[in-house]
Structures are given as structure tokens and as C-alpha cells.
Structure 1
């Protein structure tokens, strides 16, 4: 799946969608058919939060090649990465949401380490089946990531939930699976980067510049942190017409209940209100204004992720409940304004993880 040339005014993700539709002209119809007519019958069922498993996209790729899907890896191993790309683009096609961060919030969140006990269930709060997060100036070792598609995958073979990233690079769309499980999210990133899957999934089988694990973490960790923010800070996402969400089926005379894709891209602004307060805090830090004479010089502490547990600590028998059975709330604690008069303008919003 080659990288499109962005000569028109179309957005990058929209251009990728158009290019994929031209390369696999029957793919969207094939996957719609799987969802509507084959799911849970001739094909395995899958959770509602997954638009289409990559196995379904593999079937569409095999259909394009005129072969049985069981032969795809043997006859066309180079097309397996195309299936991962198509699964993301098929899900994004339905809503076409582009998430654009306020510059101050983007800088602060992208520099927030993915560390500590972060529950991966927060990804269940993705506002749409697949979203595209813009990542301006995100680069490392010759690799530039303009944006990233993100969606949840259900591996029908091993019954496993995965976070899937599809990085929008100059070299093409690069898929990266992040396996979720009992390990920490930071370890999940490490596992993803040390499996050598990134280089093998690169377009044409060629290794990307900076495709080593140590080289890629400076771009992958910021992407995950930005995604955590979108999933946990719903109150910081604004746009015309309410809140983002997946489409609902529409009843048609010919095909019965049917889902229709979005007519075009829709931009969602992230962190606009908090960004203004954060810029004011940074300005006060630089000038030394806004604080009291008795206290230290105004400054801003680094942001971090924190998980708060709530609810009963003991079960009915009076023994302590495991942390996994208590209510978890992931909070992004923004850069803390210290000794600033408007420090209260930097709130931490909360999204409970169930």
C-alpha cells in the first residue's frame, strides 16, 4: 500500500483512505458484508468496540487476490500489512474524526511519560471506533510521524484484545500492535518495540529509518500518552454538533438496517480551554509574576499520569479487595502551577475506568 502524494487540499488521513479504496476497490463492501451478514454465523463474532477484526480485513485482501484467506500468508505475505492498514482505515472511514491538540496541551501531554499503574481499560473509552491524532513535529532518527490512527483490535484466533496504532509516516502507513494484558502499559510498549514487528511491517519489507526499539520509543510513547488523554479527558474534546461518537444504523428499504460512513473528515479540538490556562501559567513562570512575595518563584511542575482507586476496600467477608476489583480512575495531572494566582485554572478532569 504505497504512500499517497498530498498535492490536493485533502487531509492526510483522508488521502490515505482514498488511496486504499483505489488499491482495494471491493474492500469496504466486503467488510460491510462481513459485519452485517456473516458476523457470528459464517464468521466469528467479535466485541462491539471493534469495528472489524484484522482477520476480516485479511479476508477482504484475499478476496481481492482471488484466493482463499488461508493461503494469504503463504502466497502474498507482503499483503498481511495491508490488512492491518485496511482494518484501521475501514473503522476510521465511518467517522473520520481528526483530533487536533491545543499546542500547549500537546507539548505537555506528549512529554508525559507512560509510567506507573495505568489501566489499559481506559482505551475502551475511545470516542470512536478509530481516531486519527495529529502529531506535528513528532520525529526521531529520520522518521517523521505526521499523525496516527488508533483503534482496538480483537484477535479472533487467540481471543485477545489489542491496541493498534497505524503511524502516518513519509514512508507510508506503519502498523504497530500493542498487546494488552496483565503487564503494565509501559511494558506493553516495550514488548511492541522489541518484537521487530515494526521493521517487518514496513512498506515493501524495508526497514524504516530509526526502526530499532530504542529509536522508536521517542515517538510511540508520546502517541500513547496523547491517546490516553483523548480517552480519559472527554470534557476537553470540543467541536460543532456535540460530542464524537460512532454512527447508528439507519433503516433502508433495500438493505434493511445499514451503517453509512461519514461524508468527510471532522476535526475535534482537544484541550483548548486548559491550554489557555497553561499558557498563562508558563508566561507567569517566565516573568515571575502572579505569586506571593513570601513564597518561591512561580513555576510549573511536570505533568504525570495517576490512577486513583475508589470504592469499598473490603469484601463482604472483611478481607481486602484486590486493586483489580476496585473502581479505577485515570487522571492526567497537568503541569502544576506553583505559587500562581490562577493555579485553579489548571484542573484535572477524570474519566472512570470500569
Structure 2
């Protein structure tokens, strides 16, 4: 490829490869979507398409089953069909990303935030991160409504581990990782999936190859990815070519022939995440030591800094009944919100220079 040829993002190349290996799959997904709540069960708006549809396409439909050697095909098909609708590629400012990853995820899994993904499916670049010591190029993330389990909500990740994008169904390219959102924390969510996989393998007469105790290191590898997603779910600082952008899913368009119809994005949309905020953080870090020296002993100036990102919990709902008696705290609602890094005592981030490095 010459320097004058347009670089095709990995995510887009994988989308094209999936479409070529399953001709007609996109039309089948469109048909499933059109039959939602009619001939097919309904599902929530936060899910573009349950993986049950991908299973039907990969198996050929009816009573057919997906063979063991293609067990990952439904997950890959559904994730790419979902990402096809918006094709957002999210690229984090390096400094902001470091700040996000520097705050460990602890306590309960913040489920409610993950239902606020800016698109049905996102692709996040992750140059420099690893999954089980394997370099990670990026990952797809979308929400699953597991019809077979009564509508259990799941966060579905599809890890891009750097293989040939022309072979998206190879485990050396994409690895599906489900996370059950009804679990108390990340480790518990992973263990639920691992236990289910062991049970399925036993039922098929295949020796389970998922050892006990694997959930903890998997949870450690997943935490940075979930941190990045949480930022995207909290009104993120996003720009495209220096201009602010609004993120949303496509809305149906009325057509003369087919009635109301959803149209996929024309092509990939590369989005810079945290450019202004990351620049502000760099300025704060560069000036902090200088300000500390200048103001040593005065106690009058608060040095520019970044208030660390954190979980913010608060109780909502009425505190008192109509007769004035207090409502017990356990009967009120506990809300948990992700608070992104907040610059304190720094210049306007709009005038600062972002640092974004594309993944090649």
C-alpha cells in the first residue's frame, strides 16, 4: 500500500470478511430486526440483535446446530452485524486513557452504566494493552439479550488479538468474551460464564478445558477494558477531526418500497476520545511541580491537577413518607455513577493540543 492509498481500519476489514464468508447475512439480520415483536420474541432497545439470530444464520436455521469447530461464529456474526450499523472506532487520548486505567475497578459491577453505550456496538482501539499476555489491538463491545436464558443481559466483548483481519472467525483474530451483567462483580460474572461452558462441554461429551481459578486473572485483564467502556457511557468528550460529534444509533427511515427501515453507516467513523480532557491533564501535570515550588509555604494556591476518576454513589427517592416518618435506607434506591477525571484550576481545554495515535 502506498502512502497515498487510504488505510482501511482493521474493524472495517473484518466486517467485510464476515460479509463475504456469510453472503446474505446482513439481509437476514435486517429481516430478523423487522420481525422483532411479531413473528419473533421482542427484546429491549439497548440490544440491536440477540445472538440467537447469529446462531440461526451460522447453523442454517431450523433444528440445525452449529458444529463445534464453528462455535464462535454466532458471536462474531452478531457483533459485526451490530457494529455495521454505526461503525464507530474509538481512539482514546493516551493521557486520559492512562488516568482511566490507573483507577482500579473494585466493588460491584456498575451494570446500569453499561446500558448507556453510545452505539449499539463500539470498537475501541487498545494499543499497548494485553489480554492474558497477548497484545490486544482493540475490542468490539455490545449488549446481549439472552433469549435462551429468559432475557439475561450480558456485555459481549469480541477481543481483537491481532490476527489476520481477513480471517475474523479464527481464534487468533477474534475472541468472544461474555460478561453476565446480573453478577455482583467482574470475577463473579466471568466465573458464571466459565461454569456454564464447563457444563455445556460435559453435556456434549467433551472434556472441559477451563480450569478452576481462571476467573480471577481473566477479571484482572477485563477491568481496563470495562473502565474504557464506562467512560464512553458517561457523556464522553468525543471529537472527529477536531470537531465535537454527537453519538447515537441510527433511526428508521421511511422508504417507498420497504416502509420503515434502518440503514447501516456508509463507512467507518474514527472518533477521538478525550482529546481536550487529555490535553488539560497534560497541562496540569506539566505545571504541577512548577506551581508547587512557586507557592511553597503560602497555602494560597491550589496547584493544577486532575481530580481522580471515581465511582459516585448516592441514594435517590424520597427520604420521608407523607406523614413525615423517615423511610429506611434499605428501601431507597442506591444509584452508582461513573465520574470521569475532572481538571481542577487549569486553562480552558479547548485551547490545548490533543495527542492521539492511530493503531496501524
**TM-score class normalised by the smaller sequence:** 0.7 to 0.9
Q: 2:181–2:189: 8 Å Cα contact kept in structure 1?
A: no
Q: Distance in 1 between matches of 2:110 and 2:321?
A: 21
Q: 2:127–2:137: 8 Å Cα contact kept in structure 1?
A: yes
Q: Which residue of 2 aligns with 1:116?
A: 107
Q: Which residue of 2 aligns with 1:326?
A: 333
Q: Which residue of 2 aligns with 1:352?
A: none
| Structure 1 residues 125-274: aligned runs within 5 Å | 125-158=116-149, 159-170=151-162, 171-181=172-182, 183-191=183-191, 194-195=194-195, 212-232=214-234, 234-239=235-240, 240=243, 242-274=245-277
TM-score of the pair, normalised by structure 2:
0.77
Residue 281 (str. 1) matches residue 284 (str. 2) = yes
Residues 41/335 of structure 1: CA separation in 2 closer, same or farther (3 Å cut): closer
Query: Alignment partner of 1:133: what SS?
Result: strand
- How many residue pairs match? The answer is 321
Query: Alignment partner of 2:91: what SS?
Result: strand
Q: Distance in 2 between matches of 1:237 and 1:323?
A: 37
Q: 1:96–1:262: 8 Å Cα contact kept in structure 2?
A: yes
Q: Distance in 1 between matches of 2:109 and 2:220?
A: 19
Q: Which residue of 2 aligns with 1:20?
A: 18
Which residue of the other structure, out of 303, 307, 310, is the alignment partner of 1:304?
Answer: 310
Task: Report which stretch shifted further, 269-278 or 151-160.
Answer: 269-278
1:112-141 Cα offsets, whole Å, 9 max, x none, are 212134531111211111111111100155
Q: 1:134–1:148: 8 Å Cα contact kept in structure 2?
A: yes
TM-score of the pair, normalised by structure 1:
0.79
| Per-residue deviation, 1:311 | 4.2
1:62-119 Cα offsets, whole Å, 9 max, x none, are 22xxx53x3314xx12323110111111111000011111111111112321213453
Which residue of the other structure, out of 44, 59, 81, is the alignment partner of 2:72?
Answer: 81
Runs of 5+ unmatched residues, structure 1: 1-6, 346-354
Q: Which residue of 1 aligns with 2:346?
A: 342
Which structure has more helix as a fraction of its residues? 1
